[in-house]
Each structure stands twice: as structure tokens, then as C-alpha cells.
Amino acid sequence: MEIISNPSQVEIKKAAQALKEGQLVAFPTETVYGLGADATNEKAVSRVYSVKGRPTGHPLIVHISSINRLDKWAVDIPEYALKLANEFWPGPMTLILKRSHLAQNFVTGGQDNVGIRIPSNLVAHEVIKEFEVLGGSGVVAPSANRFGAVSPTSARDVVDELGDSLDPLDLILDDGPSRIGLESTIINCLGATPFILRPGAITVDMVEQVTALDVSNADKNNVVKASGLMDSHYSPKAKIILDQQPKTGDGFLAMSVIPTPVGSIRLASPTTVEEYARGLYSALRLGDKKNLSKIFVILPDEVGLGEAIRDRLLKAAD
């Protein structure tokens, strides 16, 4: 595989062409790095599953460049979903909508719905747009990590996770560290009111404000599959232990105002929840690089991005 740093417009077109030819292209987004493939190419999509070691049947998110192209992929879109789309796209939000014929079973895991996202990262946006210029419809992109591991927030992470499994014509686009560092908010838009399946940078408050609906009252019977909702996800090799005191030689992660317990190895000192989110996965990876067996984490407060950080850490600690 080839790694391209700060891709030029010519290199972006080359990446779009590679996608069109059925190759995999890992690319940056504002949330985490994704492993991209042509969402209508069954062979390319099946390589995404095998490279990640992800069990088939877990649905993939389709990434597009513009709201104008939404109805290619989704039908019967509720009014509140359009409000969310207009407000938060391009951005760190995925909407689960009723699928069109274009969203085939090998993308949706056989479900009658599809996850759609319009990322705001410029490189992601340009690659998807150029891919559409070449006649492409959408790009599936799960986080570019082995199944169950923490998501990559740099091109280096992608190489560490998947480098051995990619083939010589696959590409990795490097655009520096991810701006947000946590995966998109996933919102189920299949019922009368939206329901958040995976918290992220778009919070419950933001969704309620834009839709004027009570999100916590959503129809929870509208259960859909989301592997990110399963136990034991987002896990480093080290054991994650929450809100307890570490011993000498253990890893430690907390907001900077909390002092480092004597003898522990501090992995990050974020001053805000945004910084906490941005550095969370690289801190967990650092713990693994240092061969720590335990990482003690003090959870942030449940405000703003704090909710998403807590969600990932609670799953990692399971």
C-alpha cells in the first residue's frame, strides 16, 4: 500500500480512481480515520470486512458529499431527519434511514435501513466528491482498525492496525491527527422521534434543540444492529479500570486538574473534554506501546463530548 501525506488535488483524484477500481483507500475524517471502499462494489466491500477482521452482517456507513445525493440512498426521510441533516452536515453525525435499492445487503447487513454520513474533513470531502464525478455513488468507511480495537486517529495508527492486510494498490491518505477523535453520533431516524444509538460530538441537547423533539422519549423498540453498541468494543490490549487509584507502574489518564498518583504512568493530561476526546485513543494506544497491563482512567463529567468519552470507556472497561 502507498501512504500519501497532505494529498494534492491530483493525488485526491488518484485516490478516487483507486476506489472506482475496487481498491481500498483509508482516509481522514474529522472523527476518526476510515477504511473506504466503493459502496456498490460487493468484492471491494467484502475486502473491508476481511481486512478489518469484522464479522459480516455488521452494517457499514455510506459516506456521500452532499445532501443533494441523500435520496439516492434513502427513502421516506422524516422531516426531523432533514432538519438534522441541514444543521449538522457536513459533520460528525450518521443518520440511520430507510434504505433505497442502492443500499444492498452487503452494506446494510441485510437490514432494511442504511447509515449515511457527510464528513466535513476536506480531504474526505474531496475524495468522495471526485469519486462521485467518476460515477461513484457512495463510499463505505468503517473506522480503519481491526475489529474490536480502538479507532485510528492518525495515518500511523492505520498502518499499525491494517498495514499488513492491505494490498500494494490500496492507499492511505494522511491528513494529520483527527480533529474530534471519537466516532460520529449515530441517530436512528426510523421512528417518530430520533434515538441516539452511539453518542458523539453531536449531543442529545443539540439534537433536541434542532428537532424540537424529546429524544429520550424515542421508540426504543426500533432496535437496529450496531456493532459499536456491543460489549467489549473500543478496547486496547491493556485492561481499562475506571475511577480507581492506580498502583506503581500502572497507566493513568485523567483531566489535567487531577494530579498523577505516585508511581503511575500518565498517558495524557487534557485540559478540556474536547482535548480529552481528541487524545483518548492515542493515549490508550500509548499504553499498549508501553506494554502496560492496566490503565486507570478517571471519567470526565457527563457534559458535551464527556458523554461520548464515557460511553467508549465504559465499553472498553467491560
What angle, rounded to 10 degrees, do the helices at 273-289 and 155-162 form?
40
Contact call for residue 227 and ligand TXA (CB under 6 A): yes
Q: Which residues on adjacent β-strands are paired with residue 188? A: 96, 195
Least distance from Mg ion to the Cβ atom of residue 52, Å:
8
Q: 20 vs 147, which CB is nearer to Mg ion?
A: 147
The CB-nearest residue to ligand TXA is 34
- Whose cell is 466528491? That residue is 129
Q: What phi and psi values does residue 61 have, to the nearest 5 degrees?
A: -90, 135
Contact call for residue 250 and ligand TXA (CB under 6 A): no
Give whole-number Cα distances, 75 to 96, 254, 315, in Å.
11, 44, 33
Contact call for residue 228 and ligand TXA (CB under 6 A): yes
Contact call for residue 196 and ligand TXA (CB under 6 A): no
DSSP per-residue letters across 145-210: S-TTSPPPSSHHHHHHHHTTTS-TT-EEEE-SS-SS-SPPEEEE-SSSS-EEEE--SS-HHHHHHH
- If we measure between CA atoms, which residue out of 193, 266, 211 comes closest to residue 87? 211
Least distance from ligand TXA to the Cβ atom of residue 249, Å:
32
Range 37-96, binding ligand TXA (CB under 6 A) = 58-61, 94, 96
Residue from 24, 114, 286, 305 binding ligand TXA (CB under 6 A): 114
Contact 36, 20 (CB under 8 A): no
Least distance from ligand TXA to the Cβ atom of residue 30, Å:
8
Contact call for residue 266 and ligand TXA (CB under 6 A): no
Residue from 111, 178, 269, 282 binding ligand TXA (CB under 6 A): 111
Max CA separation in the chain (angstroms): 59
Contact call for residue 113 and ligand TXA (CB under 6 A): yes
Contact call for residue 146 and ligand TXA (CB under 6 A): no
- If we measure between CA atoms, which residue out of 142, 145, 147 comes closest to residue 155? 145
Contact call for residue 225 and ligand TXA (CB under 6 A): yes
Binding string to ligand TXA for residues 164 to 183, with x set by CB under 6 A, is what?
A: -------------------x
Least distance from ligand TXA to the Cβ atom of residue 303, Å:
21
State how far the Cα of 260 lies from the Cα of 221, in Å rounded to an integer: 44
Residue from 143, 178, 185, 193 binding Mg ion (CB under 5 A): 143
Give whole-number Cα distances, 311 to 97, 234, 285, in Å.
23, 10, 18
List interacting residues with ligand TXA (CB under 6 A). Answer: 29, 31-32, 34, 58-61, 94, 96, 108, 111, 113-115, 117, 119, 141-143, 183-184, 186, 224-228
